[in-house]
A = this chain, B = another copy of it.
């Protein structure tokens, strides 16, 4: 079945405390986003790759591609206000009715094996996403309006309850779908509670298939994560 991948890189870099949007930060000397794109190219050199970037970043990206001699073919698309809108713009650039992966631009360490598992499971089940166990104990805040207090280290919280972590899984990408299904999901009205493509598809009454993810497939959103990614890249040669 024909396959495309939408790589969503809408971040403005605020959380990194960096002047550079996080998808452009250097990992082993090259922007994160290049590593991410190459992970998918390695899986299937002929697959359509759609890269969604804020319009303001297109010139920067093209400059970086020239500077680094980055020639992996990809369709560049302008992102929207939120992740929902960015994925939707990417989806418009896909013209077949096969399978599509939606992947975070800042998850450069995804393996070809995981991409293959997710595509295969989505072909069979319609929708498939990678998940991993959560290794620490988990608590849930129980008092309304308390969660924002955690933004300040000096403002401790009180009300919470223990949660059974054995039933929880952290969600990664690529999230893979049969294209007709994902297109139908994106016809639903925009909901500000949108968190990822899988939750949208579920609102059609479709079960999302869970696939075992990878510990190394981290989302690089802090300077700490960037250091970790460098270690993993180093270990892989």
Contact = CB atoms under 8 A, between A and B. Distances in A.
A202 interface: yes
- Stoichiometry (number of copies): 2
A169 B202 CA distance: 25
Interface string A201-216: 0100001111110011
Interface string A187-221: 00000000110110010000111111001100101
B210 A138 contact: no
A60 interface: no
A212 B156 contact: yes
A156 B139 contact: no
A231 B169 CA distance: 26
A93 interface: no
Given A162-B195, A222-B215, A224-B216, A138 B170 contact: yes
A138 B209 contact: no
Nearest to A169: B139
7 contacts: A131-B160, A137-B196, A140-B167, A161-B202, A163-B168, A227-B235, A228-B231
